[in-house]
Structure 1
């Protein structure tokens, strides 16, 4: 099978969309399929054996280091020349719409992946009044795709609420070999917790939309140390708010896996996650999760079994529940171990191999069938 992946972001950017595309094409090639990536530049024009077509872009005003793709005739040329069996639209916005239009003109079936809550993102930056426009664009784009895949029940409900048809649930996979409890590093723990502190960690982009300012409420919990893994525009502010915290910066591969597995409690603060891959990687590493009861985290965390959920509102109640969840785990090593074991068990059926097989054998095959035989009801 030949798959053209049109993505709103790809390497060298490090974010949920880019990482998901990387895992997708790795798995496709490993199964003998052919892939093409089309993404905003600048960047490398190959990824391993896979060609990467770079389209025009400009720096996103909020993130100057994040290129925002522009409509580009090269999208249609690349798809025409590659002649794919299916076009995979990864979190489509602008470049994705170009890919969708090109596929329509060429009669190529499409699958669209809903991954970014743009409205929620905008609200964190004070962009009021954008809801109607953004949801109208979202409905227009995804309604034209052969099938839309949502990563969580909450994301599927969002799309159904704005009347997007043919919505199906397709969760993201996790690398179960990389993220596992055995990656826990006594040496790293000794350096981070020289006095035996409980390590409470945040992993991800350190940015306003993740509400990382809430981490300050954990900085004074007795017997704990706050660890931040990642980078972003709010890192210095978090350091100011939580001066006793330690920052490990952006990590990858084995270093990232060791850092996650070496935590005692994983904390996420963002309330607009359509999935939250960082939380799933923590679960795979055997680390209980404390996170907002919203979005994709509702599917990932089972309260009282694999972690705790707190009120997602930025209120006294939400802050109190965040602190209580972390403190309960920090004070009870037996509970932490039990939840950590349950956390690992909860994701054992979500390896990337199984997830990509489902994508190819169920979702791609469905849109590639003759139009008269395609289902139109969400499953």
Structure 2
């Protein structure tokens, strides 16, 4: 098949969507498919990534709220680009305006919407959840739910990487919501990468001895990640047990997070580790991963920790919660620092129901094998119907 992904939020500076796209460009041709990404950018450009893999950028405006991104503003031009590629299958990687643009192009060509974002959890539930129930918030955001329902009717599948998102969309009347958990990079994350010398080094950085507990946090420094809550939870748990936290991340909230740490010698904020082998070793050398965001559509960091044999402490909502299932970690009430603190203490005190051997998450290759096989099935049905 020739698969064209209209990806509105692809930034060269990194992020989960970029990681996913890069894996798709590498793996898709190995599976016998041609992969083309159409993305907005500063200039019209074609970037060849190898046989059967290209990125086509269309000159577009910068996104005003985050200048790392652009957005499609010319629907006829986007339709022309799609027509020029003549795809067998079209993906759209954003539930916003670009999804409606794609939905209006040739209804006879099968399409899937990839839910790389969960706007209700990232914004509405987080902003108003302390005052209103989710049911009330959903009623107040009925217009957005109507938009999602329209997309569900227009796309052959709405691809969700977590059980909670797929279930919530289906319950909300969004048709064709399907569960396709994402995967991790094959062969990289494994318990064998655990390095006791590296663990001692990190605990020393946290001004703690070797017999203390070491937590790691990984992710963008943005509001929806709830790092201030995580910091408060770790500080509270540290009154019971000696605990160090090493955070790897960058973003616009860095100064606020440093203020929240407030000189606590047991919590250290480090830059993201770009060397993948060293990052895998850092992850495997921790005693647990802690995460605060309940708006994850999959939570790659938790999946990678699970593959590295590291238990996870995660919110009980969103994609991260899936990775605590089956004894792989412990889930706490989302957004609640006290509950997160108790979960930390329970895990390190041996009160969490952990299991020694956990099935690792699927690899990205397995994910795309399954997803593209589903696309082929949908394509066959569409051709038969025609």
Instruction: Pick the TM interval, shorter chain.
Output: 0.7 to 0.9
TM-score by length of 2: 0.84
Question: 1:226 and 1:347, CA in 2 relative to 1: closer, same or farther beyond 3 A?
Answer: same
* Alpha carbons 1:40, 1:55 under 8 Å: kept: yes
Say which of 140, 149, 154 aligns to 1:144.
154
1:215 positional shift: 1.7
Per-residue Cα deviation, 1:77-122 (whole angstroms, up to 9, x for no partner): 2222221111122234223332332243xx3211222231112222
Equivalence for 1:25: 25
Equivalence for 1:204: 219
* Alpha carbons 1:57, 1:67 under 8 Å: kept: yes
Tell me the SS of whatever aligns to 1:199: strand
The whole-number CA distance in structure 1 between the counterparts of 2:28 and 2:42 is 24
Question: 1:144 and 1:235, CA in 2 relative to 1: closer, same or farther beyond 3 A?
Answer: same
Question: 1:11 and 1:62, CA in 2 relative to 1: closer, same or farther beyond 3 A?
Answer: closer
Question: 1:282 and 1:93, CA in 2 relative to 1: closer, same or farther beyond 3 A?
Answer: same
Q: Which runs of 5+ in 1 are unaligned?
A: 375-379
Per-residue Cα deviation, 1:338-366 (whole angstroms, up to 9, x for no partner): 94743xx3325x112221111111x2022
Tell me the SS of whatever aligns to 1:274: coil
CA RMSD of aligned residues (A): 2.7
Tell me the SS of whatever aligns to 2:105: helix
Equivalence for 2:295: 272
Equivalence for 2:344: 326
Equivalence for 1:78: 81
TM-score by length of 1: 0.86
Please identify, of 290-299 and 202-211, the stretch whose mean Cα deviation from structure 2 is larger: 290-299
Tell me the SS of whatever aligns to 1:102: coil
* Alpha carbons 1:199, 1:225 under 8 Å: kept: yes
The whole-number CA distance in structure 2 between the counterparts of 1:47 and 1:14 is 19
Say which of 248, 252, 273 aligns to 1:251.
273
Superposition map of 1:1-379 within 5 A: 1-42=1-42, 45-46=46-47, 48-49=49-50, 50-104=53-107, 107-123=108-124, 124=126, 131-194=141-204, 195-196=209-210, 197-217=212-232, 218-219=234-235, 221=238, 222-242=241-261, 243=263, 244=265, 245-252=267-274, 253-302=276-325, 305-312=327-334, 314=335, 318-332=336-350, 339=354, 341-342=356-357, 345-348=358-361, 350-361=362-373, 363-371=374-382
**Number of residues paired by the alignment?**
360
